[in-house]
Structure 1
Amino acid sequence: MQNLNLYQVERRRRGGPRQTHMLLGLALLAFVCLLHAGWQYWQLRDARQQLLLAEAQAGEQESVLATAKAGFVEPQLDPQLPAEVAARQAENGQLQGLLNYLRVLAEQQNTGFVAPLQALAEHHPQGRLWLTGIHLDQGGTQLRLQGRAQSQQLLPGYLDALGRSPVFSGREFARLDVERGEDGLLDFDLSSRPADQEKADE
Protein backbone atom coordinates (compact mmCIF):
# COMPACT_ATOMS: atom_id res chain seq x y z
CA MET A 1 0.00 0.00 0.00
CA GLN A 2 1.40 3.32 -1.09
CA ASN A 3 1.10 6.45 0.93
CA LEU A 4 0.32 9.71 -0.88
CA ASN A 5 1.19 13.02 0.67
CA LEU A 6 -1.56 15.30 -0.44
CA TYR A 7 -0.32 18.22 1.59
CA GLN A 8 2.27 20.24 -0.22
CA VAL A 9 3.65 23.49 0.82
CA GLU A 10 2.64 26.03 -1.83
CA ARG A 11 5.52 28.09 -2.96
CA ARG A 12 5.07 31.85 -2.83
CA ARG A 13 4.72 33.33 -6.26
CA ARG A 14 6.57 36.49 -6.79
CA GLY A 15 4.45 39.28 -8.21
CA GLY A 16 5.61 42.38 -10.26
CA PRO A 17 8.56 42.83 -12.61
CA ARG A 18 11.86 41.43 -11.94
CA GLN A 19 14.79 43.70 -11.06
CA THR A 20 16.62 42.86 -14.28
CA HIS A 21 13.66 43.86 -16.37
CA MET A 22 13.36 47.14 -14.54
CA LEU A 23 17.00 47.95 -15.10
CA LEU A 24 16.70 47.21 -18.80
CA GLY A 25 13.60 49.38 -19.05
CA LEU A 26 15.28 52.26 -17.28
CA ALA A 27 18.35 51.96 -19.52
CA LEU A 28 16.15 51.93 -22.63
CA LEU A 29 14.21 54.97 -21.43
CA ALA A 30 17.43 56.83 -20.69
CA PHE A 31 18.73 56.01 -24.17
CA VAL A 32 15.56 57.25 -25.81
CA CYS A 33 15.69 60.46 -23.78
CA LEU A 34 19.32 60.91 -24.77
CA LEU A 35 18.47 60.48 -28.46
CA HIS A 36 15.61 62.95 -28.19
CA ALA A 37 17.84 65.49 -26.45
CA GLY A 38 20.50 65.08 -29.14
CA TRP A 39 17.96 65.56 -31.90
CA GLN A 40 16.59 68.66 -30.18
CA TYR A 41 20.11 70.03 -29.79
CA TRP A 42 20.86 69.46 -33.46
CA GLN A 43 17.63 71.18 -34.51
CA LEU A 44 18.39 74.12 -32.23
CA ARG A 45 21.94 74.39 -33.52
CA ASP A 46 20.77 74.35 -37.15
CA ALA A 47 18.12 76.98 -36.40
CA ARG A 48 20.73 79.21 -34.78
CA GLN A 49 23.00 78.92 -37.81
CA GLN A 50 20.15 79.84 -40.12
CA LEU A 51 19.27 82.77 -37.89
CA LEU A 52 22.86 84.02 -37.91
CA LEU A 53 23.01 83.67 -41.69
CA ALA A 54 19.73 85.56 -42.11
CA GLU A 55 20.93 88.32 -39.80
CA ALA A 56 24.17 88.61 -41.77
CA GLN A 57 22.29 88.84 -45.08
CA ALA A 58 19.93 91.42 -43.63
CA GLY A 59 22.90 93.45 -42.44
CA GLU A 60 24.44 93.32 -45.92
CA GLN A 61 21.17 94.42 -47.51
CA GLU A 62 20.86 97.30 -45.07
CA SER A 63 24.43 98.33 -45.85
CA VAL A 64 23.76 98.24 -49.59
CA LEU A 65 20.54 100.21 -49.10
CA ALA A 66 22.32 102.80 -46.99
CA THR A 67 25.05 103.16 -49.63
CA ALA A 68 22.45 103.56 -52.37
CA LYS A 69 20.58 106.17 -50.37
CA ALA A 70 23.80 108.07 -49.69
CA GLY A 71 24.72 108.10 -53.40
CA PHE A 72 21.23 108.84 -54.72
CA VAL A 73 20.79 112.28 -56.22
CA GLU A 74 17.21 113.30 -56.84
CA PRO A 75 16.79 114.49 -60.44
CA GLN A 76 15.76 118.10 -60.79
CA LEU A 77 13.87 119.57 -63.71
CA ASP A 78 15.76 122.17 -65.68
CA PRO A 79 13.78 125.41 -65.26
CA GLN A 80 14.54 126.35 -68.87
CA LEU A 81 13.27 123.07 -70.27
CA PRO A 82 9.53 123.98 -70.46
CA ALA A 83 10.35 127.20 -72.31
CA GLU A 84 12.62 125.34 -74.75
CA VAL A 85 9.96 122.71 -75.37
CA ALA A 86 7.37 125.41 -76.03
CA ALA A 87 9.76 127.17 -78.42
CA ARG A 88 10.44 123.94 -80.32
CA GLN A 89 6.73 123.22 -80.57
CA ALA A 90 6.13 126.72 -81.91
CA GLU A 91 8.89 126.25 -84.50
CA ASN A 92 7.45 122.90 -85.52
CA GLY A 93 4.04 124.50 -85.88
CA GLN A 94 5.46 127.24 -88.10
CA LEU A 95 7.34 124.72 -90.24
CA GLN A 96 4.22 122.61 -90.58
CA GLY A 97 2.22 125.67 -91.61
CA LEU A 98 4.87 126.60 -94.18
CA LEU A 99 4.89 123.06 -95.51
CA ASN A 100 1.11 123.08 -95.89
CA TYR A 101 1.26 126.45 -97.65
CA LEU A 102 3.92 125.23 -100.08
CA ARG A 103 1.91 122.09 -100.77
CA VAL A 104 -1.23 124.11 -101.52
CA LEU A 105 0.78 126.55 -103.64
CA ALA A 106 2.30 123.71 -105.65
CA GLU A 107 -1.15 122.26 -106.27
CA GLN A 108 -2.46 125.66 -107.34
CA GLN A 109 0.47 126.18 -109.68
CA ASN A 110 0.04 122.77 -111.26
CA THR A 111 -3.66 123.41 -111.70
CA GLY A 112 -3.00 126.96 -112.95
CA PHE A 113 -0.72 125.70 -115.72
CA VAL A 114 -3.06 123.01 -116.97
CA ALA A 115 -6.16 125.16 -117.44
CA PRO A 116 -4.56 127.91 -119.63
CA LEU A 117 -2.81 125.35 -121.83
CA GLN A 118 -6.05 123.46 -122.31
CA ALA A 119 -7.89 126.70 -123.22
CA LEU A 120 -5.16 127.66 -125.72
CA ALA A 121 -5.44 124.27 -127.38
CA GLU A 122 -9.24 124.51 -127.63
CA HIS A 123 -9.26 128.00 -129.23
CA HIS A 124 -6.27 127.60 -131.53
CA PRO A 125 -7.10 128.24 -135.23
CA GLN A 126 -5.66 125.43 -137.27
CA GLY A 127 -3.41 126.21 -140.24
CA ARG A 128 -3.50 130.02 -140.14
CA LEU A 129 -1.98 130.92 -136.78
CA TRP A 130 0.88 129.25 -134.95
CA LEU A 131 2.18 129.66 -131.43
CA THR A 132 5.95 129.57 -131.26
CA GLY A 133 6.27 130.31 -127.55
CA ILE A 134 4.08 129.98 -124.45
CA HIS A 135 5.34 131.38 -121.14
CA LEU A 136 3.38 130.84 -117.93
CA ASP A 137 4.54 132.25 -114.60
CA GLN A 138 3.24 132.69 -111.06
CA GLY A 139 0.83 129.80 -111.25
CA GLY A 140 -0.50 130.82 -114.66
CA THR A 141 -1.42 134.38 -113.68
CA GLN A 142 1.30 135.83 -115.92
CA LEU A 143 1.02 134.83 -119.58
CA ARG A 144 3.07 135.54 -122.68
CA LEU A 145 2.20 134.22 -126.14
CA GLN A 146 4.51 134.41 -129.14
CA GLY A 147 3.54 133.24 -132.61
CA ARG A 148 2.96 133.88 -136.30
CA ALA A 149 -0.18 134.56 -138.32
CA GLN A 150 -0.99 134.68 -142.00
CA SER A 151 -2.93 137.92 -141.73
CA GLN A 152 -3.46 140.71 -139.25
CA GLN A 153 -7.21 140.08 -139.17
CA LEU A 154 -6.68 136.73 -137.43
CA LEU A 155 -5.30 138.29 -134.24
CA PRO A 156 -8.46 140.12 -133.06
CA GLY A 157 -10.59 137.03 -133.63
CA TYR A 158 -8.07 134.85 -131.80
CA LEU A 159 -7.90 137.24 -128.84
CA ASP A 160 -11.69 137.52 -128.74
CA ALA A 161 -12.00 133.72 -128.66
CA LEU A 162 -9.52 133.55 -125.79
CA GLY A 163 -11.44 136.26 -123.91
CA ARG A 164 -14.62 134.18 -124.05
CA SER A 165 -12.85 131.30 -122.31
CA PRO A 166 -13.48 131.19 -118.52
CA VAL A 167 -9.74 130.83 -117.96
CA PHE A 168 -8.88 134.09 -119.72
CA SER A 169 -12.08 135.97 -118.93
CA GLY A 170 -11.25 139.38 -117.49
CA ARG A 171 -7.53 138.96 -118.13
CA GLU A 172 -5.73 142.11 -119.26
CA PHE A 173 -2.61 142.17 -121.42
CA ALA A 174 0.00 144.88 -121.03
CA ARG A 175 1.29 144.87 -124.60
CA LEU A 176 0.88 143.44 -128.08
CA ASP A 177 3.74 143.76 -130.56
CA VAL A 178 3.19 142.88 -134.21
CA GLU A 179 5.85 142.83 -136.94
CA ARG A 180 5.80 141.52 -140.48
CA GLY A 181 8.57 139.13 -141.29
CA GLU A 182 10.56 138.82 -144.49
CA ASP A 183 8.37 135.89 -145.53
CA GLY A 184 5.24 138.06 -145.29
CA LEU A 185 3.89 136.44 -142.11
CA LEU A 186 3.09 138.45 -139.02
CA ASP A 187 5.16 137.86 -135.87
CA PHE A 188 3.20 138.76 -132.73
CA ASP A 189 4.18 138.96 -129.06
CA LEU A 190 1.32 139.17 -126.54
CA SER A 191 2.18 139.54 -122.85
CA SER A 192 0.46 140.39 -119.58
CA ARG A 193 3.60 142.24 -118.41
CA PRO A 194 5.37 145.24 -119.88
CA ALA A 195 8.55 144.68 -121.87
CA ASP A 196 10.79 146.25 -119.21
CA GLN A 197 9.60 143.77 -116.57
CA GLU A 198 10.20 140.84 -118.89
CA LYS A 199 13.72 142.05 -119.63
CA ALA A 200 14.38 142.43 -115.91
CA ASP A 201 13.18 138.87 -115.28
CA GLU A 202 15.35 137.55 -118.07
Structure 2
Amino acid sequence: MQNINLYQHEQRDEGGPRPRSLLLGLLLLSLLLGLHAAWQGWRSYQAAEAAQTARQQAAQAQQQLDAVKANYREPVLDPALPARVTARESENRQLQRMADYLRDLDLQRRGGFVAYLLALADRHPPSGLWLTRIHLLDGGSELALYGLSQNQELFPLYLESLGRSEVFRGRQFARFEILRDQRDLLEFRLASRQAGEGRDE
Protein backbone atom coordinates (compact mmCIF):
# COMPACT_ATOMS: atom_id res chain seq x y z
CA MET A 1 0.00 0.00 0.00
CA GLN A 2 1.37 3.40 -0.98
CA ASN A 3 1.13 6.51 1.28
CA ILE A 4 0.21 9.86 -0.25
CA ASN A 5 1.24 13.04 1.61
CA LEU A 6 -1.45 15.62 1.05
CA TYR A 7 0.22 18.24 3.35
CA GLN A 8 2.07 21.00 1.52
CA HIS A 9 4.16 23.63 3.31
CA GLU A 10 3.03 27.04 2.05
CA GLN A 11 5.11 30.16 2.62
CA ARG A 12 3.06 32.98 4.14
CA ASP A 13 2.94 36.31 2.38
CA GLU A 14 3.91 38.79 5.06
CA GLY A 15 2.08 42.17 4.94
CA GLY A 16 3.73 45.71 4.91
CA PRO A 17 5.62 47.73 2.39
CA ARG A 18 8.21 46.22 0.33
CA PRO A 19 11.74 47.51 0.78
CA ARG A 20 11.88 48.86 -2.75
CA SER A 21 8.65 50.86 -2.39
CA LEU A 22 9.85 52.19 0.95
CA LEU A 23 13.10 53.33 -0.60
CA LEU A 24 11.29 55.10 -3.46
CA GLY A 25 9.00 56.84 -1.00
CA LEU A 26 11.94 58.05 1.07
CA LEU A 27 13.68 59.35 -2.02
CA LEU A 28 10.55 61.22 -3.14
CA LEU A 29 10.07 62.76 0.29
CA SER A 30 13.72 63.81 0.40
CA LEU A 31 13.32 65.43 -3.03
CA LEU A 32 10.22 67.35 -1.93
CA LEU A 33 11.92 68.52 1.26
CA GLY A 34 14.94 69.66 -0.76
CA LEU A 35 12.77 71.63 -3.19
CA HIS A 36 10.90 73.27 -0.30
CA ALA A 37 14.16 74.17 1.41
CA ALA A 38 15.55 75.64 -1.84
CA TRP A 39 12.36 77.72 -2.35
CA GLN A 40 12.50 79.01 1.23
CA GLY A 41 16.17 79.85 0.78
CA TRP A 42 15.42 81.80 -2.41
CA ARG A 43 12.68 83.76 -0.68
CA SER A 44 15.00 84.53 2.21
CA TYR A 45 17.65 85.71 -0.23
CA GLN A 46 15.17 88.02 -1.99
CA ALA A 47 13.97 89.40 1.36
CA ALA A 48 17.55 90.07 2.41
CA GLU A 49 18.26 91.86 -0.89
CA ALA A 50 15.14 94.01 -0.49
CA ALA A 51 16.06 94.85 3.09
CA GLN A 52 19.55 95.82 2.00
CA THR A 53 18.19 98.07 -0.76
CA ALA A 54 15.78 99.70 1.69
CA ARG A 55 18.60 100.34 4.15
CA GLN A 56 20.70 101.95 1.41
CA GLN A 57 17.81 104.19 0.32
CA ALA A 58 17.12 105.18 3.92
CA ALA A 59 20.80 106.05 4.39
CA GLN A 60 20.79 108.19 1.23
CA ALA A 61 17.62 109.97 2.33
CA GLN A 62 19.14 110.64 5.74
CA GLN A 63 22.27 112.07 4.09
CA GLN A 64 20.15 114.37 1.93
CA LEU A 65 18.15 115.46 4.96
CA ASP A 66 21.33 116.18 6.90
CA ALA A 67 22.69 118.22 3.96
CA VAL A 68 19.46 120.28 3.79
CA LYS A 69 19.54 120.86 7.54
CA ALA A 70 23.17 121.92 7.36
CA ASN A 71 22.44 124.48 4.60
CA TYR A 72 19.15 125.75 6.08
CA ARG A 73 19.16 129.30 7.32
CA GLU A 74 16.32 130.71 9.39
CA PRO A 75 14.61 133.51 7.39
CA VAL A 76 15.09 136.95 8.90
CA LEU A 77 12.55 139.71 8.34
CA ASP A 78 14.06 142.75 6.68
CA PRO A 79 13.40 145.69 9.04
CA ALA A 80 12.98 148.01 6.04
CA LEU A 81 10.33 145.77 4.46
CA PRO A 82 7.26 147.29 6.24
CA ALA A 83 8.30 150.78 5.15
CA ARG A 84 8.74 149.60 1.55
CA VAL A 85 5.37 147.88 1.63
CA THR A 86 3.73 151.06 2.95
CA ALA A 87 5.41 153.10 0.22
CA ARG A 88 4.26 150.66 -2.47
CA GLU A 89 0.72 150.75 -1.13
CA SER A 90 0.77 154.55 -1.23
CA GLU A 91 2.03 154.48 -4.81
CA ASN A 92 -0.68 151.97 -5.72
CA ARG A 93 -3.36 154.22 -4.24
CA GLN A 94 -2.03 157.18 -6.20
CA LEU A 95 -1.97 155.13 -9.38
CA GLN A 96 -5.50 153.96 -8.70
CA ARG A 97 -6.70 157.53 -8.22
CA MET A 98 -4.97 158.53 -11.45
CA ALA A 99 -6.56 155.60 -13.28
CA ASP A 100 -9.99 156.58 -11.92
CA TYR A 101 -9.45 160.17 -13.01
CA LEU A 102 -8.37 159.12 -16.50
CA ARG A 103 -11.35 156.80 -16.76
CA ASP A 104 -13.73 159.56 -15.73
CA LEU A 105 -12.06 161.96 -18.15
CA ASP A 106 -12.38 159.42 -20.95
CA LEU A 107 -16.05 158.95 -20.16
CA GLN A 108 -16.56 162.70 -20.20
CA ARG A 109 -14.83 163.09 -23.52
CA ARG A 110 -16.76 160.25 -25.10
CA GLY A 111 -19.99 161.61 -23.68
CA GLY A 112 -19.36 165.06 -25.13
CA PHE A 113 -20.54 168.26 -23.44
CA VAL A 114 -24.19 167.30 -23.05
CA ALA A 115 -23.92 166.81 -19.28
CA TYR A 116 -22.32 170.24 -18.82
CA LEU A 117 -24.90 172.00 -20.96
CA LEU A 118 -27.77 170.26 -19.19
CA ALA A 119 -26.32 171.24 -15.80
CA LEU A 120 -25.96 174.88 -16.91
CA ALA A 121 -29.55 174.86 -18.10
CA ASP A 122 -30.87 173.28 -14.87
CA ARG A 123 -28.96 175.69 -12.60
CA HIS A 124 -29.66 178.85 -14.56
CA PRO A 125 -31.48 181.55 -12.54
CA PRO A 126 -35.01 182.38 -13.69
CA SER A 127 -34.25 186.06 -14.32
CA GLY A 128 -31.62 188.77 -13.92
CA LEU A 129 -28.65 186.73 -15.26
CA TRP A 130 -28.03 185.12 -18.61
CA LEU A 131 -25.12 183.56 -20.45
CA THR A 132 -23.84 184.99 -23.71
CA ARG A 133 -21.03 182.53 -24.47
CA ILE A 134 -19.83 179.12 -23.20
CA HIS A 135 -16.38 177.62 -23.79
CA LEU A 136 -15.82 173.93 -23.03
CA LEU A 137 -12.43 172.46 -23.96
CA ASP A 138 -10.57 169.18 -23.34
CA GLY A 139 -13.67 167.25 -22.41
CA GLY A 140 -14.83 169.93 -19.99
CA SER A 141 -11.57 170.23 -18.05
CA GLU A 142 -11.34 173.84 -19.24
CA LEU A 143 -14.46 175.93 -18.84
CA ALA A 144 -15.30 179.59 -19.39
CA LEU A 145 -18.67 181.25 -18.96
CA TYR A 146 -19.48 184.71 -20.30
CA GLY A 147 -22.65 186.54 -19.46
CA LEU A 148 -24.55 189.58 -18.28
CA SER A 149 -26.41 190.38 -15.10
CA GLN A 150 -28.54 193.16 -13.77
CA ASN A 151 -27.70 192.51 -10.12
CA GLN A 152 -24.31 191.61 -8.68
CA GLU A 153 -25.95 189.77 -5.79
CA LEU A 154 -26.94 187.03 -8.21
CA PHE A 155 -23.32 185.95 -8.78
CA PRO A 156 -22.71 184.15 -5.46
CA LEU A 157 -26.15 182.52 -5.70
CA TYR A 158 -25.36 181.34 -9.23
CA LEU A 159 -21.97 179.93 -8.21
CA GLU A 160 -23.52 178.16 -5.23
CA SER A 161 -26.19 176.67 -7.47
CA LEU A 162 -23.55 175.41 -9.91
CA GLY A 163 -21.60 173.86 -7.03
CA ARG A 164 -24.60 171.73 -6.10
CA SER A 165 -24.63 170.19 -9.57
CA GLU A 166 -23.00 166.76 -9.92
CA VAL A 167 -21.03 167.88 -13.00
CA PHE A 168 -19.61 171.06 -11.49
CA ARG A 169 -19.16 169.83 -7.93
CA GLY A 170 -15.64 170.52 -6.72
CA ARG A 171 -14.74 172.76 -9.64
CA GLN A 172 -12.91 175.95 -8.68
CA PHE A 173 -12.98 178.93 -10.99
CA ALA A 174 -9.56 180.52 -11.06
CA ARG A 175 -10.68 183.71 -12.75
CA PHE A 176 -13.71 185.87 -12.09
CA GLU A 177 -14.11 189.25 -13.78
CA ILE A 178 -16.97 191.74 -13.59
CA LEU A 179 -17.18 194.91 -15.69
CA ARG A 180 -20.02 197.37 -16.13
CA ASP A 181 -20.75 198.09 -19.75
CA GLN A 182 -22.30 201.14 -21.44
CA ARG A 183 -25.81 199.73 -20.94
CA ASP A 184 -25.28 199.71 -17.17
CA LEU A 185 -25.21 195.90 -17.18
CA LEU A 186 -22.64 193.82 -15.37
CA GLU A 187 -20.58 191.81 -17.82
CA PHE A 188 -18.93 188.82 -16.15
CA ARG A 189 -16.51 186.10 -17.02
CA LEU A 190 -15.90 182.85 -15.10
CA ALA A 191 -12.85 180.85 -16.14
CA SER A 192 -11.40 177.61 -14.87
CA ARG A 193 -7.86 178.77 -15.67
CA GLN A 194 -5.89 181.86 -14.87
CA ALA A 195 -5.09 184.21 -17.74
CA GLY A 196 -1.78 183.28 -19.35
CA GLU A 197 -1.94 179.60 -18.31
CA GLY A 198 -2.34 177.62 -21.50
CA ARG A 199 -5.12 178.58 -23.82
CA ASP A 200 -7.12 181.68 -23.15
CA GLU A 201 -10.83 180.91 -23.41
TM-score range, shorter chain: 0.5 to 0.7
> Equivalent of 2:49, from 53, 77, 80?
53
Once residues 95 and 196 of structure 2 are traced to their aligned partners in structure 1, the CA distance between those partners, rounded to angstroms, is 30
Q: Output aligned runs, 1:140-155, within 5 Å.
A: 144-147=144-147, 155=149
The C-alpha deviation readout for 1:156-182, integer Å capped at 9, x for no partner, is 16974983686158xx995312456xx
Shift of 1:83: 5.0
Partner of 1:68: 64
2:24 counterpart of 1:28:
yes
Shift of 1:90: 2.1
Q: Which amino acid in the other structure matches residue 6 of structure 2? A: Q
Q: Which amino acid in the other structure matches residue 58 of structure 2? A: E
CA separation of 1:188/1:130 partners in 2, compared to 1, >3 Å: closer, same or farther? same
User: Is the contact between residue 178 and residue 187 of structure 2 (CA under 8 Å) also seen in structure 1?
Assistant: yes
Alpha-carbon RMSD:
5.1
Once residues 62 and 120 of structure 1 are traced to their aligned partners in structure 2, the CA distance between those partners, rounded to angstroms, is 85
Size of the aligned set, in residue pairs, is 174
User: Is the contact between residue 178 and residue 186 of structure 2 (CA under 8 Å) also seen in structure 1?
Assistant: no
2:175 counterpart of 1:177:
no
Once residues 200 and 175 of structure 1 are traced to their aligned partners in structure 2, the CA distance between those partners, rounded to angstroms, is 15
Shift of 1:57: 0.8
Once residues 131 and 160 of structure 1 are traced to their aligned partners in structure 2, the CA distance between those partners, rounded to angstroms, is 16
Q: 5+ residue gaps in structure 1?
A: 148-153
Q: Which amino acid in the other structure matches residue 29 of structure 1? A: G
Give the TM-score, by structure 2 length.
0.55
Shift of 1:56: 3.1
2:83 counterpart of 1:87:
yes
Once residues 144 and 93 of structure 1 are traced to their aligned partners in structure 2, the CA distance between those partners, rounded to angstroms, is 38
Once residues 14 and 124 of structure 1 are traced to their aligned partners in structure 2, the CA distance between those partners, rounded to angstroms, is 153
Shift of 1:43: 1.3
Partner of 2:167: none
2:157 counterpart of 1:163:
yes
The C-alpha deviation readout for 1:109-145, integer Å capped at 9, x for no partner, is x7xx9887445435489xxx66234479xx99x9753
Once residues 15 and 78 of structure 1 are traced to their aligned partners in structure 2, the CA distance between those partners, rounded to angstroms, is 102
Partner of 2:187: 188
Shift of 1:27: 1.5
Shift of 1:14: 1.0
Q: 5+ residue gaps in structure 2?
A: 164-172
User: Is the contact between residue 144 and residue 190 of structure 1 (CA under 8 Å) also seen in structure 2?
Assistant: yes
CA separation of 1:35/1:199 partners in 2, compared to 1, >3 Å: closer, same or farther? same
Once residues 70 and 130 of structure 1 are traced to their aligned partners in structure 2, the CA distance between those partners, rounded to angstroms, is 86
Once residues 135 and 187 of structure 1 are traced to their aligned partners in structure 2, the CA distance between those partners, rounded to angstroms, is 22
Q: Which amino acid in the other structure matches residue 27 of structure 2? A: F
Identity of aligned residues (%): 18
